[in-house]
Amino acid sequence: MGFQTSGIIFMILAYLFIGGLVAYCLYKLLFSKTKK
Amino acid sequence: MAEQITEREQWGSRWGLILAVAGNAIGLGNFLRFPVQAASNGGGAFMIPYFIFFLIVGIPLMWMEWGIGRHGGKYGHGSAPGMFDVLWKNKIAKYFGAIGLFVSTIILIYYTYIESWTLGYSFLSITKSYFGLENFEAMKSFLYGYQGREATSYFNGITIAYIFMLITFVLNFWILYKGISKGIEKLAKIAMPALFIFAIIIVIRVITLGTPDPAIPENSVSNGFGFIWNPDFSKLGDPKIWLAAAGQIFFTLSVGMGTIHAYASYLKPKDDIVISGLATSATNEFAEVILGGSIAIPISVAFFGIATTTAMAKGGSFDLGFASMPLVFEQIPFGEIFGFLWFLLLFFAGITSSVAMGQQVIAFLEDEFGMSRKKAVLSLGFAVLLAVQLVVFYLKFGYLDEMDYWAGTFGLVVFAFVETVIFMWIFGAEKAWNEMNEGGDIKIPRFFFYIMKYVTPLMLFIVMMWWLINDAIPILLLKGVAEENLIYVWGSRIFMIIVFATFLYLIHIAWKKKRMRNGLSN
């Protein structure tokens, strides 16, 4: 079976989506006006 | 409604709140349920419906629940009955909130016991108690012996399980007693970073395992990742896969319970909820997809192969977590430490969720009955301690499973559907939209307005109907229940009916008292 290219692509896309979301939220939390 | 708003507790910091809500969302399911669902429902292809539902059900519900919670908090309500009462000017509105209290309480009762297994197993790992057991069946028997489901030579009754249940129970209620900032927030600030550190350590160990037995090259971590991620597009035509993805999103974000509402009620009226809600969802997804997807299944495939892992996973998430993982730990260097970290990680995931369930009920007793926190914690604690005895001693008869279905599965989608209709349709979509965006660090993109108003309730209705027809009716009709278990299953149902009726009665009494107070003061 192996770890197919399509599987690797799906994994990378999912990681990028979640990583992007986390990075965006961190950016907003660190630099937002209302941060405490 | 001219209600007197009393001084309520507040979160110490925004980070603390986000960690606490993320802790509420991140539970055992992130590390045990998700990988099993993904592997058995099309691998990478499962992620297509999974992320679609994350966008059209998960995130919208998260924002709605933060919005309902903060709105209720303005009027001094930290639980669903009071929140629904201010959203919908109708006498019956508050009674719908009983669903939230019911769901939280029932799950809290059995989750406390499940959570205690993880603490118990972290102790059994560091003391190498299960080391030496050679196969999956022996490990499963060890687990069943621990739980008291089977009489085994490994344990003398359920003494150890009971002790850890008591420790878990005391820890939960001690944290609840300490309050929002000094209890729940402090726990989240310690447990959440620890959980992530432990998970990252274990993931590094997993990906550096390679092929543990070079004689069997197909048993490798790489194939384990392939098992989770290789897409099987043919599965996308099966509606069950889409329903499974919707269900997973639902469970993983801990929506539909009233717990997020309770936490959000301690916000200030102008505090942001848009980025906080998004950050909570993102943190949960990081824990689930990136960390949860990289531990149990890849490590299991590396040691036992795909066929055996599939068989183990079919036995349920607990078999994977409590039977196959220990088998791996006893085969790797410093396995006792990795086992300790794995189960402690699960314990942290569990306790940060269970305190959230307790908080909603405590908020109900404090806000609607004017009880002190001490009295509210003692009242709930006493009730939970009594109820958990039934779960402990009747576990093997399906008592817990019955609760898990009606409260922990079906109850969630019913509550989510009800709250969505009340917030977006009765309170009003535009008012709800403004409420959610109030004080936001960003504006929620406008297309989510239409998703929240039309798509989310429609999807929840479809999921609710699907579960009703395919699962709820057969379960209600006791299909597949062994003759000897019938009395316990009925006992579980009667218990749940009593809990639900008690909440309805308490809501009735609380509002009656309020009417009398308001009448006297006028």
| DSSP string covering B252-314 | HTT-SSSHHHHHHTTS-TTS--HHHHHHHHHHHHIIIIIIGGGSHHHHHHHHHHHHHHHHHHH
Looking at residue B284, its pLDDT comes to: 97
Phi, psi values for residue A19, rounded to 5°? -60, -40
Q: Which of B229, B231, B289 sits opposite A18 (nearest CB)?
A: B289
Q: Do A17 and B275 touch (CB under 8 A)?
A: no
Chain A positions touching B439 (Cβ under 8 A) are 34
Reading the block at residue B143, the tokens are 């687990």
Is B101 in contact with B504 (CB distance < 8 Å)?
no
For the entire predicted model, the pTM comes to 0.94
Mean pLDDT by 10 residues, chain B (522 residues): 63 94 95 90 90 96 98 97 97 97 97 96 97 92 92 90 97 98 97 97 95 93 93 91 91 95 95 96 97 94 91 83 94 96 97 97 97 97 97 94 94 97 98 97 96 97 94 94 95 98 98 87 56
Helix H or strand E encompassing B462? helix B456-467
Looking at residue B2, its pLDDT comes to: 42
ipTM of the complex: 0.93
Q: Do B275 and A25 touch (CB under 8 A)?
A: yes
Q: How far is CA B15 from CA B12, B19, B356, B363, in A?
A: 9, 6, 16, 22
Nearest CA-CA distance, residue A31 and chain B, Å: 10
Q: Do B44 and A32 touch (CB under 8 A)?
A: no
Is B492 in contact with B402 (CB distance < 8 Å)?
yes
The alpha carbon of residue B171 and the mean position of all alpha carbons in its chain are separated, in whole angstroms, by 18
Residue among A12, A13, A26, A34 with most chain B CBs within 10 A, to mutate: A34
> Can you tell me the distance from the alpha carbon of B123 to that of B125, in angstroms, rounded to the nearest whole number?
5
Helix, strand, or coil (residue B226): helix
Residue among A8, A24, A25, A35 with most chain B CBs within 10 A, to mutate: A25
> Can you tell me the distance from the alpha carbon of B191 to that of B234, in angstroms, rounded to the nearest whole number?
40
Nearest CA-CA distance, residue A15 and chain B, Å: 7
Any B CB within 8 A of A32 CB: yes
Q: Do B279 and A26 touch (CB under 8 A)?
A: yes
Chain A positions touching B13 (Cβ under 8 A) are 36
Reading the block at residue B207, the tokens are 């990906």
Burial of A35 (0-12, 13-18, 19+ CB in 10 A): middle
Chains A & B: contacts with CB separation below 8 Å: 92
DSSP conformation letters of B414-433: HHHHHHHHIIIIITTHHHHH
Any B CB within 8 A of A3 CB: yes
Model confidence band, residue A36 (pLDDT cutoffs 50, 70, 90):
very low
Looking at residue B424, its pLDDT comes to: 98
Residues counted in chain B: 522
Task: Single out the residue of B42, B297, B231, B34 nearest to residue A7, CA to CA.
Answer: B231
Reading the block at residue B105, the tokens are 């309480």
Looking at residue B402, its pLDDT comes to: 95
Any B CB within 8 A of A5 CB: no
Nearest chain A residue to B272, by CA: A34
Nearest CA-CA distance, residue A30 and chain B, Å: 10
Any A CB within 8 A of B289 CB: yes
Nearest chain B residue to A5, by CA: B230
Residue among A13, A16, A22 with most chain B CBs within 10 A, to mutate: A22
Is B123 in contact with B164 (CB distance < 8 Å)?
yes
The alpha carbon of residue B81 and the mean position of all alpha carbons in its chain are separated, in whole angstroms, by 21
Is B360 in contact with B104 (CB distance < 8 Å)?
yes
Task: Give me the residue label for tokens 């993931």.
Answer: B203
Chain B positions touching A29 (Cβ under 8 A) are 14-15, 18, 275, 279
Residue among B10, B285, B438, B444 with most chain A CBs within 10 A, to mutate: B285
